Every structure is written in C-alpha cells, then in structure tokens.
A = this chain, B = another copy of it.
Amino acid sequence: MKSKNRLKEDLMETSRIGRNPPKVIKRYDQLDPERGIIRPTGSDANKKIRDFTVKRMEAAGLNVAVDEIGNIFGKRDGFKTSKGTVMCGSHLDSVVNGGMFDGPLGVFGAIEAVRRMNDEGIKNERPIEVVVFTGEEGSAFKQTLLGSSVLTGKTELEQALSMKNEQGITLDEALRNIGYKGVFKRSLDDVDYMVELHIEQGPILYREGLSIGIVENITGIVWIMATILGEENHAGTTPMKMRKDALVAASEIVSFINKRANEMVEELSSCTVGTVGRLNVFPNGTNAVPGKVEMGIDIRDVKQENMEILRTQTLEMIKGLEKKFGVETDVLMPVTHSPAPLSLEVADVIEQSARQIGINTKRMNSGAGHDSQNMASKVKTGMIFVPSVRGVSHSPMEWTEWKDVEKGIQVLTRALTNLSKL
C-alpha cells in the first residue's frame, strides 16, 4: 500500500467500530448526523479498536506493552541508548455519538510516522514510543484524561481502578473483561518529549484556510453547576409582583457570562470563553412559572488570572440574584483544570519541521482538554492541530479533509525525526 493511503485506510477501517450499524466512512457526504461513534472505555467497540491498533503497532515493528491502567505503549528502540524517549500518541475511546478523528488520528498518525521512518530508513537516536491513553473522554468512567492522570501521578492507580461506570462495573473489571489490564509499570523518568497530533475541534484553522496549528497552551477549565430555586406557580393566576421566577433569574446569568466573556476578549485581548451550555427548567410547562433551574457553566482561558476574574464575577453575580429576585442559589464546582502551557522548545521544533517541508503553520491555543496537558507537567510536550471542517467535533459530523490529515502526518513524521536527534 502506498504510504499516503495507509493512515487513511486505518481511519476508515476504525470508522465503523462503535457505529450502529457499522459503516465505513470515506467521505464527508457519507456522514449521518444521527449515527456517530460510541466507543467508551471497556466496551466491545473499545476492545475491537484496541486489538486492531495493537496489530498495526506490531506490524510496524513496535514492541507492545500494556500498563496497569490499560495504557498501551509500542516502542521503537533508538540507536543512542543513553537518550530519553520521545512519546507520541493520543486515545481511542470516544464521547457518546462522537466522530472518527478525535483520538484515533493521533494514535494511527504516530504509527504511520513510524512506518514512514521504516520506509525511508530513518534511524531515530532516541527511542520513540507510540502511546494510547485509557479513558480520555470520561464517557464511561467519569474522570476525563484518566490514563494520563495515572501515568503522570495526578491520580492514584488504585483510585482510578476502583471507579465505576453506569453499569456499576469497576475500571479494573472493565479492563480485565476486554483483556487490557496489563502489568507493565511505566514511569516517565526516561521520557524527555511528548507530541500529540489531534484535530483542532474548533473553527480557527478551517476559517483561515490553514492546515497546521501548533499549540502553545491548553486552556484551563472551570465548571460551575448552579441551581436557582424560585417558586413554582400557575403562569395565569400568579400576578407578576408575586413571582419568584427561577428562569428569569437564570437568564440574567446567561446574558452576564456572554457579555463579560466578550468584554474580556476585547479589553484583555484574551481567549476567554464563557458558556452556559446546559440549562434544565422545572416543571417546564408553558403555563407554569419555573420553580427551579439547573445550569452548567463552562469558563476557559489560558491565563489562570482571567479564569479567576470571570469565575469570581460570575459567583458574585449569581449570589446577587438572591436579593434581586428572592430566589435561592447554590453552586458546585466539580471540574477545575489549571491552564497548561506546552513546551516552546517542542513548538519550535514542530514549526521548523513544517518549514523544512514547506507547510505553513499557526501558533494557537487549545480550548479543549487533552492528555498532553497532563504530560506537559512531566515532560516537554507539544501538540499539532489539523483543521476541523466547520469547527465541528464531538459530533457524528466531525470531519477533517484527507489532504490536511496527510499534511499533519508529514509534519509529525518530520518533528519526531528531529526530536529524536536532539
């Protein structure tokens, strides 16, 4: 098979795993907005794509090992044994009803880079290790970035293994069930670099007509889960002055966060985003004054201080609704990730590598979380983005043009080669 088609074939082959009914997708116009990929950690589909991947790794000459949290490693030795390893990879699990590129592109991209180094007889000085992280999406076991959290020591192995999915099965059992509870104990002491190829999942490269983004920072995330308790009443019989309408109060939060995030982008030239993505009204009848609203608020920025500004102002604003509307409010903050700056050294290597093969790049931030943000706390880490058509991801309509996939793999192959020589 021509090297240009191998990665495409791998992605097309795995595009059927976890789709119901299974269907191979070759082109954008074959996507069905109702039929995405469901491939949570521990599922049959997760086992199938892991088995397929291990075969491809072995065929590429990699030595495969599985660690105790189910992360898969495929090693190609370097010829200078004193130098630390360059890791490269991503994840194979998916969100519920997701797309075919989020994760697999980075795994099969890393395998394809090794295959091209084989084809071209490139000798890597440092060992190169393809990595598949367990449970990046948090779709089965509810912590995101799980495999990389254990690998980098942010989460205890035992704690992670005892987490349960919605069926009440522990991660330990789930990994045993699919044959991926390994014994390999991987430390990062001998690892110097990490590179992850991924789709952007946003609209920037697509709108600017660029093929390659180089990530400088992964944004931090704060989630605020707010509950507004008003008073449920009949919409016809309750005079305006006697209401405690939870939705009227909640709507001010939606407007406030949107307005403040936009102002911060203007005033601070920041990449701040603030979103109310989830909002549930109770009892939710056209003729009932809403008695309760539950909402999920998402705040992100690459600068911790900007996140703090918007978080603090939002919490103050929510508290202020109690006096203004006579409602009660309650907030939880179940998710807090600090912003993760990636390695500028690795970014420079990626940029030089792209320039060597005549491909334009753009420095940018990642608004989505990735295993690379965990890895960045231990080793020098970089990310390569390729464009998402219309900026769509976490959706059956997720797509990246094959020409951009090819450019991504060319830059990745060159960057791995260059990193291995540092």
Check if A313 is an interface residue, CB within 8 A of chain B: no
Residues of chain A at interface, number, CB under 8 A: 64
Known: A240-B265, A252-B255. A368 touches B234 (CB 8 A): yes
- Partner of A202 from B207, B238, B272 at Cβ < 8 Å: B238
Instruction: Give residues of chain A (356-371) contacting chain B, Cβ–Cβ below 8 Å.
Output: 366-369
User: Are A238 and B286 in contact (CB-based, < 8 A)?
Assistant: no
User: Are B236 and A300 in contact (CB-based, < 8 A)?
Assistant: yes
- Cα–Cα, bound, A290→B369 (Å): 19
Which chain B residues lie closer than 8 Å to A238 at the CB level?
Answer: 202-203, 273, 367, 391
The digit string for A253-274, where 1 denotes a CB below 8 A from any CB of B, is 0110010011001000001111
The digit string for A170-188, where 1 denotes a CB below 8 A from any CB of B, is 0000000000000000000
- Cα–Cα, bound, A278→B277 (Å): 17
User: Are B234 and A369 in contact (CB-based, < 8 A)?
Assistant: no
Which chain B residues lie closer than 8 Å to A300 at the CB level?
Answer: 235-236
Check if A393 is an interface residue, CB within 8 A of chain B: yes
Query: Helix, strand, loop or mixed for chain A's interface?
Result: mixed
- Cα–Cα, bound, A241→B269 (Å): 12
User: Are B298 and A391 in contact (CB-based, < 8 A)?
Assistant: no
- Cα–Cα, bound, A219→B238 (Å): 12
- Partner of A236 from B258, B265, B273, B278 at Cβ < 8 Å: B273
Check if A204 is an interface residue, CB within 8 A of chain B: yes
Which chain B residues lie closer than 8 Å to A121 at the CB level?
Answer: none
Q: Nearest chain-B residue to A236 (Cβ)?
A: B367
> Which of A19-27, A48-56, A64-72, A243-251 forms part of the interface with chain B?
A243-251
| A positions within 8 Å CB-CB of B | 200-204, 207, 219, 221, 223, 225, 232-242, 245, 247-248, 250-252, 254-255, 258, 261-262, 265, 271-281, 284-290, 296-298, 300, 366-369, 391-395
